[in-house]
Amino acid sequence: MRYHTFDVTLRNRSHYPIDIVWENAQDLEHVPYLHRATNSAFWMLYVEPDPTGRHPYQTMVFMVRRKMLGFLPVTSFGVRRIAGEHEIWQMERNPLLRVETRLRSTLERSRDNPEHTDLVDYVRVTTPAAFRPLEARLTAALRRHTRIQCDQDESFRARRAELRERGIDLPLSLFNRPAWDEVFADLRQ
Amino acid sequence: MLFWMDGQVRACSAICPHMGARLEVDTRRGVITCPWHGLTAKIGSSQVDGFPCAHPRYRRIKQYQVTRDDHGNIMLER
């Protein structure tokens, strides 16, 4: 099968400091709740802890059910890695559509206001060659998708900033138990 | 967080014990939910449902006894 690959750079801005945006960026489990218009379910399959203890995980394997066109359920598999401070790498593949995205997601302090953060995503998309005429539409859909998610994430960041001001310390932590842990526990018995 | 259900004023913490999201009340279903990660508790029970984590910090949502005095003032039991 022949494939077509193209690159997209997506830029969004948050009105919150980089450490708060970084918390939100590492958390994937909020996707089906905070972004329920575009995602309907998320499963954490396997998690490798961060040996430094500075991040809630180092590598995560996940399965996510996206809503294509806002209603069509499409399930993808992905691997996500915290590659460094303020940098995440992610690969996601949809086996049905044979579409693959490779993402390098970075955060930078905004130059004009260091209390704001620029989110820059470098995305490489690989699709079957038949999708080549849809490249412009796929690019526009990706831009729209990340812009909407960034806007929705601002409520998360606003609340985290508010808690910080009130001196309430509830650090970022994984919410669910990875499926692998349950499988492994079952096999042990 | 104060809300009205089944003819009674009720009160619970508005802070999710996981990461502090502002909890939401669904009086029709009788549940308190977290809009970030889906944590759910039945109103009145304070036990968190639908949550596989064994971490004791996440297993309860603080709910308060509410009383009203003769002047209509609402008193929360700490």
- Say what the pLDDT of residue B52 is: 52
Residue A113 belongs to some domain of the structure: yes
Q: What is the mean pLDDT of residues A77-96?
A: 97
What confidence tens digit (pLDDT) does each residue in B29-75 have? 988 899 999 888 888 766 666 555 555 566 677 788 888 888 988 88
Q: Enter the pTM of the model.
A: 0.89
**Residue A181, CB-side half-sphere exposure with 13 Å CA sphere:** 12
Q: What is the mean pLDDT of residues A47-68?
A: 94
Q: Is the pLDDT of residue A184 over 90?
A: no
A156 contacts in chain B (CB < 8 Å): 21, 36
CATH code, domain with A150:
3.30.530.20
Residue A177 belongs to some domain of the structure: no
What confidence tens digit (pLDDT) does each residue in B5-19 have? 888 888 888 999 899
Q: Is the pLDDT of residue A187 over 80?
A: no
DSSP annotation of A17: -
Q: What is the mean pLDDT of residues A135-140?
A: 94
A172 contacts in chain B (CB < 8 Å): 19
For A33, list phi and psi in degrees, rounded to 5.
Answer: -100, -55
- C-alpha A183/C-alpha A186 separation (Å) is 5
Residue A173 belongs to some domain of the structure: no
> Measuring CA to CA, which residue among A80, A102, A105 is closest to residue A93?
A102
Q: Is the pLDDT of residue B22 over 60?
A: yes
Residue A180 belongs to some domain of the structure: no
What confidence tens digit (pLDDT) does each residue in A98-124 have? 999 999 999 999 999 999 999 999 999
Average pLDDT, chain A: 94
Q: What is the mean pLDDT of residues A7-30?
A: 97
Residue A71 belongs to some domain of the structure: yes
Among all residues of chain A, which has the CA nearest to that of B37? A30
Q: Which helix (H) or strand (E) holds A21?
A: helix A18-26
Q: Which of A50-64, A169-183, B8-22, B35-49 has the lowest mean pLDDT?
A: B35-49
- Say what the pLDDT of residue B56 is: 57
Among all residues of chain A, which has the CA nearest to that of B18? A170
Domain enclosing residue A15, as ranges: 3-166
Beta strands in A15-58 (DSSP E): 39-48
B20 contacts in chain A (CB < 8 Å): 159-160, 163, 168, 170
Residue A176 belongs to some domain of the structure: no
- Say what the pLDDT of residue A82 is: 97
Give the number of domains in chain A.
1
CB contact (8 A) between residue B36 and residue A33 = yes
Q: Which of A159, A173, A182 sits opposite B21 (nearest CB)?
A: A159
Radius of gyration for chain A, computed over Cα atoms and rounded to the nearest angstrom: 17
- C-alpha A103/C-alpha A90 separation (Å) is 5
Beta-strand relationship, A3-14 and B66-68: unpaired
Residue A68 belongs to some domain of the structure: yes
Split at pLDDT 50, 70, 90, the class of A89 is: very high
Residue A187 belongs to some domain of the structure: no
> Measuring CA to CA, which residue among B24, B20, B18 is closest to residue B60?
B18
- Say what the pLDDT of residue A6 is: 98
